[in-house]
């Protein structure tokens, strides 16, 4: 009877035939938020600030490290084994 409901076409500039964002494309809001966080980190002292937080809040710092490490890591050891060296910041006394 009436016209069928038309779905609006995707007007983004990504993908062949404008089929949406490709896998791994960064959302504009995500990009802006990341820039703000990095700006705040720089203003707080950057590396020096992170080193202080690693000492005062090691669990939170290690959670942050886990977020920024790649999901798949190939090492330089035999058959791609990963060789890890852990260096502690600060004093040698146990927490």
Cα 58 from Cα 50, distance rounded (Å): 10
Average pLDDT, the chain: 77
DSSP secondary structure code for residue 92 in this structure = S
Alpha carbon 79 to chain centroid, angstroms: 27
Residue 90 maps to a domain: no
The domain tally of the chain equals 1
Which pLDDT score is estimated for 67? Answer: 85
Residue 61 maps to a domain: yes
> What domain range is 47 assigned to?
28-80
Give pTM, 2 decimals.
Answer: 0.48
Which pLDDT score is estimated for 49? Answer: 94
Beta-carbon contacts of residue 9 (< 8 Å; ≥ 6 apart): 18
Cα 10 from Cα 51, distance rounded (Å): 45
């Amino acid at each position: 009877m009436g016209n069928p409901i038309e779905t609006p076409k995707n007007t983004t500039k990504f993908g062949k035939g404008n089929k949406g964002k490709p896998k791994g494309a960064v959302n504009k809001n995500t990009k802006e938020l990341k820039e703000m966080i990095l700006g705040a980190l720089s203003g707080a002292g950057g590396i020096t600030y992170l080193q202080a937080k690693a000492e005062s809040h090691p669990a939170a710092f290690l959670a942050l490290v886990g977020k920024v490490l790649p999901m798949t890591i190939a090492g330089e050891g035999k058959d791609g084994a990963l060789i890890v060296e852990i260096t502690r910041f600060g004093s040698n006394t146990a927490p």
